[in-house]
Structure 1
């Protein structure tokens, strides 16, 4: 793992590759958590995480689902929705002048989730969102996933 300063250098100069978990309910809703960390702190956002150097996509998916959902899921049980670009004006360390660039692989999982048992490291709460709801507090990058559920 990189220390904070080395990781900030990476964020300053390169895009990060990540996986977003678009967890879909039977009612066609998307699971989101209220983000605790930058970028996108304070917004509702889908669970997800970055892929580590030398980590396969399959291994990253298992690790990210276990970390973010509390249970590991195989990538074979997910549907790749698309690749997305997420650009932020800020960064995890709140250092001025350094934005964050993600290349995101969004995967859909259809799961029954007990929101009360979800991990709280990255999010302070969870809820289901439908596209007909007021999405003002949902980050625009997570709003982009709704058209793929139709």
Structure 2
């Protein structure tokens, strides 16, 4: 069983340690990549791949099922995805807006799903869009951390 930390405890964790998360590079049958426009810090306002944190006492497989359900509306077993590797994301801000940075160690996974945009959850992203890869890589409103999954040299 997993649970969320009290707000003050979570602020201490974020300000003191790296967080471990899973990012989902989702392609549809046409090869386009799913991005959502982030509502929350960090990376607020940017287009970003879906994903989220692994919580204490949650295995990666459990986290993957939970995150695909929460972020995509469909629970997908981790064995159906391709592991892209580990990544590090550094942000100068954090979820609370207070003066400390955020550091993520991210496990990137790729999967193919044809999901109707109107069925996607809206807690983390205000808009969703399927992006052709070349357009995504060229657009300044797409966060560089999302671009890295497709092109490690993207800035």
> Common fold, TM-score beyond 0.5?
yes
Offset at 1:26?
Answer: 2.5
TM-score, normalised by the number of residues in structure 1: 0.95
Cα deviations across residues 13-61 of structure 1 (Å, max 9, x unaligned)?
Answer: 1000000010012232210000000000100000000000010011000
Offset at 1:131?
Answer: 2.6
| Aligned residue pairs, count | 147
Distance 1:13 1:74 in 2: 31
Q: Is the 8 A contact 1:80 1:106 kept in 2?
A: yes
Distance 1:41 1:131 in 2: 21
The answer to whether 1:53 aligns with 2:56 is yes
Distance 1:130 1:83 in 2: 24
Aligned to 1:141: 145
TM-score, normalised by the number of residues in structure 2: 0.92
The answer to whether 1:72 aligns with 2:75 is yes
Q: Is the 8 A contact 1:33 1:125 kept in 2?
A: yes
Distance 2:89 2:74 in 1: 26
Structure 2: 5+ residue stretches without partners? none
Q: Where do residues 96-115 of structure 1 align in structure 2 (5 Å cutoff)?
A: 96=99, 98-115=100-117
RMSD of aligned residue pairs (Cα, Å): 1.1
